[in-house]
């Protein structure tokens, strides 16, 4: 019997939260196509999630139809979501997206539904579960190496910025099958206080947490880099997405047709 392809939810971003978008453009929800391709190539069916922050009933109905959640990269998180005032170096934020994604993470943790967070997505997982962030690494993290290799500064999205070291015994190591490798880096925020219940699974040379995961069998993984840029050329990176899809398929098989 052929198993049904799992449905993977990908939250969107408010168009006008992106720097440089003319205010005259109509209000829209958008997301980079690369995340959708990375989902479909390993067998997932992507579902674009609108930012219905004020319609929790409809958002819940969407969530219940999902087998897994992929949290993409994007703009900075609003520090008020973890009890801090805005730092002068904070960039654009998307409050609607913050609230929707954190709600999705909390529901998924309750239901043990698989979650994979990429860059901002790893930060969302941490904040949703009670952690905090550095609003700007250069200003707030002594000894920080350069993490902000942004395309807007002339760097390619797959630029090998720095190495990460993967924690022994972690789920991430079991998937990637190598203790150290180079990653791209397109962020200026990072995990500060790790949320209770999360385990650090990868660190940068300066000590910044670059990977987190949940305990036990729940597939809850966040990485600070952008693996969607490597899954075509790196079999181990594609395996990260494949394991996520397998976990989503297994979750659906256990949950049955109705949650």
Catalytic residue among 147, 218, 226, 231: 226
55: in domain:
yes
Say if CB 124 and CB 70 are below 8 A apart.
no
Is 87 annotated as catalytic? no
243: in domain:
yes
104: in domain:
yes
Is 119 annotated as catalytic? yes
212: in domain:
yes
Catalytic residue among 119, 213, 218, 231: 119
Distances from the Cα of 56 to the Cα of 89, 103, 107, 200, angstroms: 32, 9, 12, 31
1: in domain:
no
201: in domain:
yes
Residue with tokens 């397109």, as numbered in its chain: 186
Task: Report d(CA 34, CA 45) in Å as an integer.
Answer: 14
Work out how many domains the chain is built from and give that number.
1
3-class secondary-structure state, position 209:
strand
Catalytic residue among 101, 210, 228, 231: 228
pLDDT at 1: 43
pLDDT tens for the chain, 259 residues: list them: 467 899 999 999 999 998 888 888 889 999 999 999 999 999 999 999 999 999 999 999 999 999 999 999 999 999 999 999 999 999 999 999 999 999 999 999 999 999 999 999 999 999 999 999 999 999 999 999 999 999 999 999 999 999 999 999 999 999 999 999 999 999 999 999 999 999 999 999 999 999 999 999 999 999 999 999 999 889 999 999 999 999 999 999 999 865 5
84: in domain:
yes
Is 61 annotated as catalytic? no
105: in domain:
yes
Task: Look up the CATH number of the domain holding residue 93.
Answer: 3.40.50.880
Range of the domain at 110: 7-255
Task: Report d(CA 202, CA 220) in Å as an integer.
Answer: 14
């Amino acid at each position: 019997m052929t198993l049904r392809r799992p449905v993977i939810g990908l939250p969107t971003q408010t168009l006008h939260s992106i720097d440089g978008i003319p205010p005259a453009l109509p209000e829209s929800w958008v997301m980079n196509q690369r995340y959708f391709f990375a989902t479909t190539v390993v067998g997932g069916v992507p579902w674009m999630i609108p930012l219905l922050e004020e319609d929790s009933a409809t958002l819940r109905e969407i969530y219940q139809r999902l087998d897994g959640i992929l949290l993409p990269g994007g703009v900075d998180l609003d520090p008020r979501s973890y009890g801090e005032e805005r730092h002068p170096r904070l960039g654009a934020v998307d409050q609607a997206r913050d609230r929707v994604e954190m709600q999705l993470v909390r529901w998924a943790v309750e239901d043990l539904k698989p979650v994979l967070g990429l860059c901002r997505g790893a930060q969302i997982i941490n904040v949703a579960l009670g952690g905090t962030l550095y609003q700007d690494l250069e200003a707030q993290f002594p000894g920080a190496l350069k993490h902000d290799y942004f395309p807007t500064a002339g760097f390619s999205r797959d630029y090998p910025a720095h190495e990460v070291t993967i924690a022994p015994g972690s789920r991430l190591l079991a998937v990637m099958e190598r203790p150290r490798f180079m990653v791209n880096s397109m962020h200026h925020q990072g995990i500060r206080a790790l949320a209770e219940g999360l385990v650090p699974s990868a660190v940068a040379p300066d000590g910044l947490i670059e990977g987190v995961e949940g305990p036990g069998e729940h597939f809850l993984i966040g990485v600070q880099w952008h693996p969607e840029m490597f899954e075509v050329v790196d079999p181990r990176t594609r395996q990260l997405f494949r394991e996520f899809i397998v976990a989503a398929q297994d979750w659906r098989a256990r949950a049955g047709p109705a949650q």
